[in-house]
Amino acid sequence: MAASGGAGLRIDFWDRAISACRRAGQWQVVSYFLGCMRHGGVYADAVCCANAMSSCLKGLAWEACMSFHRQMCMDGAEPDLVCKGAALTVCKQLHVWRRALVFLSAAFTGGELPNDICFNAALASMASSDKWEACTRLLAAVECQLQRPDAVTYGALLPAFERRRSWAEALAFLEAPEVGVSAFNAASSICEKAGLWLTALDLCSFRMPARRLEPDLITFNAVTSACEKVAAWALSIDLFTSLSYRHLRPDVFSIAACTSACGNGVKWQLALSLYGDTSELIDTSVVSCSALLTACEQGRKWPLALRLLKGTAPCTQLDTVAWNSAIAACASCYEWEQAVHLLAELYQAELLPSVLTYQFVLAACEQASQTTLAPGLLEAAPIWLLP
């Protein structure tokens, strides 16, 4: 409903102002602006309403979102599908699935049908809360009203299957012709967590190309991680090297998964060769550094482990497990002084040693016939580590 006179210009001004507040998540300022508009005889249009409700996302302000919607109805403006979709998107982000259902049933009582954005937002809010019975009923309604759920619909549901690790249901959903890359990525991740590395490889290598879908980096990372768990290092290397001709740039997860696969397959040389020259081994990723340190431990490459640890520890948040790998690499080569020194540095890094830490250090001392150090080391050990 527009005000008379210069109302069109004034609404345009308020649209821009409220849009700026939406980007900043300033729903309190939006509420004040809407009050100023009503006081001046200017009423919010659909654009204002959608921006106002979307401004509630960052502040997790569900009540304010519904208040803006009610006020628009009171002002005589009929919220359109954009406004209703914005309200349901807020429900999705805040995981308030009951409110999403209530709003969905109440907002479409006049014969107007929800569009795919509204349905998908409501489905995602329920899927994120693992409300599967309600999800199934709404999906049936989607199929009835929209004829065919789209790729976004399945993309919203499959990550929820991933949380449930329900790989059979996820694979059944992939039979739908509308599924896209995100759905296959979620299914690949489910298979990876379930140890179904052959199925994950089949999705990437055969089923996606058969649908004319191009696997992306997320797909390859999930499949490489699945191969890592069964030490299928040769496949991991193939997947890793295939990234370049697919014009995909590997990230730290790609490198870490491939490195771990080589390490699990006792192919530490390959794990280290992924990084080329040792001067380029420094990486600021905790994940890839931990995997490389494990490879150094298995390959008994203690100087390399020290270089990697000292080069990355100041820049990353390496945990005790990563330090243990470096200490174990020293212990395997009888480098007891380095092992003891790393134990001291672990404390300086404000990390707590584990039982394995002391086992590795004591083993290094014992193998080097430095048994006189054992009592002092045990005396300095935290009391909770002692039997």
Q: Return the closest-CA partner of residue 29 out of 54, 3, 62, 52.
A: 52
Alpha-carbon span 134 to 320, nearest angstrom:
44
Number of domains composing the chain: 1
Alpha-carbon span 36 to 224, nearest angstrom:
57
- 90 domain-assigned: yes
Percentage of the chain surpassing pLDDT 90?
A: 5
Q: What pLDDT score does 206 carry? A: 93
- 200 domain-assigned: no
- 29 domain-assigned: yes
Q: What are phi and psi of 277, to 5 degrees?
A: -65, 145
> By mean pLDDT, which of 77-91, 143-157, 207-221 is the weakest?
143-157
Q: Return the closest-CA partner of residue 79 out of 88, 69, 89.
A: 69
- 377 domain-assigned: no
- 127 domain-assigned: no
- Does residue 139 surpass a pLDDT of 80? no
Alpha-carbon span 84 to 46, nearest angstrom:
10
CA-to-CA dists, residue 299 to 18, 304, 329, 353, 361, angstroms = 60, 10, 8, 23, 18
Q: What pLDDT score does 199 carry? A: 92
Q: What pLDDT score does 24 carry? A: 80
- Does residue 337 surpass a pLDDT of 90? no
Domain ranges, residue 12: 1-94
> By mean pLDDT, which of 92-96, 172-176, 185-189, 207-211 is the weakest?
92-96
Give the amino acid at 382: P
**Locus of tokens 């005000």:** 3
Total residue length of the chain: 387
Q: What number is the average pLDDT over the span 112-136?
A: 69
What tokens does 119 get? 């349905």
pTM for the complete prediction? 0.55
Alpha-carbon span 15 to 346, nearest angstrom:
56
- 160 domain-assigned: no
Q: What pLDDT score does 9 carry? A: 47
Alpha-carbon span 251 to 342, nearest angstrom:
29
- 51 domain-assigned: yes
Alpha-carbon span 71 to 248, nearest angstrom:
49
Evaluate whether 162 touches 189 at the Cβ level (below 8 Å).
yes
CA-to-CA dists, residue 196 to 176, 193, 203, 232, angstroms = 21, 8, 11, 12
- 387 domain-assigned: no
